[in-house]
Amino acid sequence: MVRLLIGLAGLMGAAGVALAAASAHGADAGRLASASAMLLFHATAVLAVMGLLARGLLHGGIGLVAACGFVIGAALFAGDLTLRQYAGQSLFPMAAPTGGTVMIASWLAVTLAAVVARK
């Protein structure tokens, strides 16, 4: 699971850079800039959570849930915005807000994981 999450963080980072480039070179590409930012920020967050878990600074199960939430939430958010930009349609109704909510919940899970971590 750890290697999978690290690999997904790498893919998120690569997609984030690609969307940033597309945003910089495309007309009316504000959605892509937002999608890029969410992917890049949360790819870094996944890597940070994995590092904190390895050092025992976060509760293991809660930390893994948070990292998975970052991946799922960022994928929903960025996927929806990217699909709207290029295909003119949504991934599904409320996909971006759902992804945003999952990312917020994941940040709260990181907080919880830090509070209940074994010392």
With 90 as the cut, is the pLDDT of residue 88 above it?
yes
Model pLDDT, residue 26: 81
3-state secondary structure of 100: helix
Q: Please give the single-letter amino acid code of residue 24.
A: A
Is 113:58 a contact under the CB 8 Å cutoff? yes
Model pLDDT, residue 119: 66
State the residue for tokens 């759902």: 98
H helices then E strands: how many in the chain? 4, 0
For residues 74-95, give the mean pLDDT: 96
Tell me the whole-structure pTM to 2 decimals.
0.94
Q: Domain residues of the chain, as ranges?
A: 2-115
Model pLDDT, residue 30: 86
- For 14-73, write each residue's pLDDT tens digit: 999 999 999 999 878 889 999 999 999 999 999 999 999 999 999 999 999 999 999 999
